[in-house]
Chain A
């Protein structure tokens, strides 16, 4: 549904995107993550036909963003990270304006407005002045605007930024509902656990290059050599660390929030031996478990903090 081929973009002398190759299948929820300045917004602006790449090409639903911009706009819903709403307008007026801007026929507009207002749970706010809406509601209003022309692909740039926890959960539910409706989602965000909940595939961008791409578990297998383990003791964490370090097969031993974390490569018997030795040390062992590796771990492991 989305295909980028050798996408490159340069702002004066700064290279923002460096030959990005990317493919997102129809109906997939794709998490696009990367540190600040990695080129996420540039990619999204190219997909939304707002920017022309210096080299390469991007296709949305088979339409070229270079030569078939109007077709791309017909099938794509774009929600930028910073968006403005017009104070002095009511909710329905704002949506009606964008319905006209997306060429929705006049007789269909009222039904379309009702549908998106219901989907985004803004039906009760139909007559409210936009300036009186909270940040979370404005975010939902922008999403409602994005859904007006029933796009096949939704490109959302940092949709949850600046929202309080409740608004974030609501938005996440809404996005999950959209994936259930069969929409293709292309979401960039800094808040990684949120994406992990509903995104099936992930692309990690650093310094304009895609450093990892695929299903989350596939990437985990690729980057995870062995198991991630966590150990918690009540006394002398340093001594416990020493015991772990002496054990063959263990690596990347570190302490985080009072918990000992390390990687282990080897047979399960060796791991059992290590657990017994730690117990024998009488350090007050209360936890010896395999840590669940999440999107955040993957991100930290594949990126090096380089900004293009």
Chain B
């Protein structure tokens, strides 16, 4: 315990960053900007709000002001935190001081915690300085102190996650500019993609939504918190890997991921059965889609071509079962099978369950081959892996938009060729087959064929490249 406290509190990196960082003009300007935005929002609200006709309207105004302040703070925390972490490690690299730190007796965990601690300490300062504005909410009423505390907890958690994302890119990239572009690129893309879902999610959270019902009811906030912690742990370990001369923690990363994944899939299979989902198939389709996105993103992380510090280590890595992409593909498929098994055992229609499992398995295998082949064909440079990180959300989610806008069959069919999500959806919602040039294909078959076809094509190109003399595999 004392050792953990020492790493957190008696951390030379944290002290150094606070000494240097808090002397910068940027820090003062950011804080001023933060307070000006929040102060303006509060003042604007108070002056523009119509005078309440009766006192019972005041709590509504309090809730509205609390909402305005929370979303403004969330936006600013998401924008400010990466600016504090994106240059932390790449900046040391550019300054030629990273080697001095690595050659000292500091452990990588101290370096990462020190850097993250600085960003969180500053965000903490911003959040504390916003308290006078938030206190106005209590004058109006309608919001319990527990809710305010919970919203600050959410802001701190988001700051930690976004800070870790910035540190991750900072550790990956040689230049701060590249790290900043990538971190903000991912955040903006995620924001655009989740624009529709965010208010609904907030609404569900404030309603105390649970997954499943009765004995199996599981609070949505806890479910999200567990996943956020898993993601934070994953990023934290990955950052350390980029700082070490040997790749470490891969086994822990694997164990962590396997545990979360398998428990998650079993739990979801169980929960879906308790909500009378077979007669209302939309939640089932949505769960399968969400799980598939997580599966592909995780698989991509394990296929991430991280440069190895030492060829000796790479040889060791290649020799181990736990480091083979096929192993992770197997783990992912096991999770999907667990989910399908739980559904089947609780009475879901077997044909639909098996079809969904088959489609997800096929796409997952195809995805692994496509990602690996692209990496080889593009020269195996880590920069292309970043491209993968940037494009994955777009590839998976953007083509599903026609689903919402009910575009023509052709647009829908084309979307299916890129993203497997509409195909999964169609399995549970009886979407019609698509006729194209005299061929009639149902969407899952079309999707499966396109993914496996692409995988076969790229796999063949890779094999051809490897078989050429002088080209190393």
Contact = CB atoms under 8 A, between A and B. Distances in A.
Given A83-B100, A102-B104, A52 B19 contact: no
Interface of B: 10, 12, 15-16, 19-20, 23-24, 92, 95-97, 99-106, 245-246, 309-313
Contact of A51 (B100, B105, B310): B310
Interface in A75-100: 78, 80, 82-86, 88-89, 93, 97-98, 100
A84 B311 CA distance: 28
Interface string A267-297: 0000000000000000000000000000000
Contacts of A78: 99-100, 103
Contacts of B97: 83-86
Given A70-B105, A74-B105, A84-B97, A49 B245 contact: yes
Most-contacted residue by chain B among A89, A100, A103, A145 (CB, 10 A): A100
A222 interface: no
Contact of B100 (A45, A74, A84): A84
A181 interface: no
Nearest to A155: B103
A103 B100 CA distance: 14
**Closest A-B pairs by Cβ, 5 of them:** A52-B310, A84-B95, A84-B97, A100-B12, A101-B104
A53 B313 CA distance: 10
Given A88-B24, A89-B20, A93-B19, A48 B310 contact: no
Nearest to A11: B311
Contact of B101 (A45, A70, A89, A101): A101
13 contacts: A48-B99, A51-B309, A52-B309, A55-B312, A83-B99, A86-B16, A88-B20, A89-B19, A97-B15, A98-B100, A101-B105, A102-B105, A145-B100
A3 interface: no
Interface string A126-168: 0000000000000000000100000000000000000000000
A52 B16 contact: no
Given A49-B245, A89-B19, A73 B100 contact: no
B3 to A, nearest CB: 13
A52 B100 contact: no
Interface string A9-21: 0100000000000
A50 interface: yes
A178 to B, nearest CB: 18
Contact of A82 (B16, B96, B101, B104): B96
Contacts of A68: none
Nearest to B106: A101
Contacts of B12: 97, 100-101
A52 B246 contact: yes
Contacts of A100: 10, 12, 15
Contact of A50 (B10, B16, B92, B99): B99
A247 interface: no
Interface residues of A, number: 30
Contacts of B312: 52-55
Given A52-B312, A89-B16, 4 more contacts: A53-B310, A83-B96, A84-B92, A101-B101
Contacts of A145: 100
Contacts, number: 77
A74 B10 CA distance: 19
A93 B245 CA distance: 28
Interface of A: 10, 45, 48-55, 70, 73-74, 78, 80, 82-86, 88-89, 93, 97-98, 100-103, 145
B322 to A, nearest CB: 20
Contacts of A103: 105
A45 B12 CA distance: 24
The CB with the most chain A CB atoms within 10 A, among B16, B92, B95, is that of: B16
Contacts of A80: 96, 99-100
Given A82-B96, A84-B92, A52 B15 contact: no
Contacts of B10: 100
A50 B245 CA distance: 6
Contacts of A86: 16, 20, 95, 97
A267 B10 CA distance: 73
A86 B309 CA distance: 26
B349 to A, nearest CB: 54
A100 B96 CA distance: 20
Contacts of B23: 88
Given A83-B97, A100-B12, A54 B310 contact: yes
A12 to B, nearest CB: 9
Contacts of A74: 105
B426 to A, nearest CB: 47
B20 A98 contact: no
A15 to B, nearest CB: 12
Max count, chain A CB within 10 A of own CB: residue among B92, B104, B311, B313: B104
Given A52-B309, A88-B24, A97 B99 contact: no
A102 B16 CA distance: 14
Contacts of A54: 310-312
A84 B242 CA distance: 20
Nearest to A72: B103
Contacts of B15: 97, 100
A100 B9 CA distance: 13
Nearest to A98: B104
Contacts of B105: 70, 73-74, 101-103
Contacts of A50: 99, 102-103, 245
Contacts of A51: 245, 309-310
Contacts of A98: 100, 104
A55 B315 CA distance: 12
The winner among B24, B95, B101, B245 for most chain A CB atoms within 10 A is B245
Contacts of A84: 92, 95-97, 100
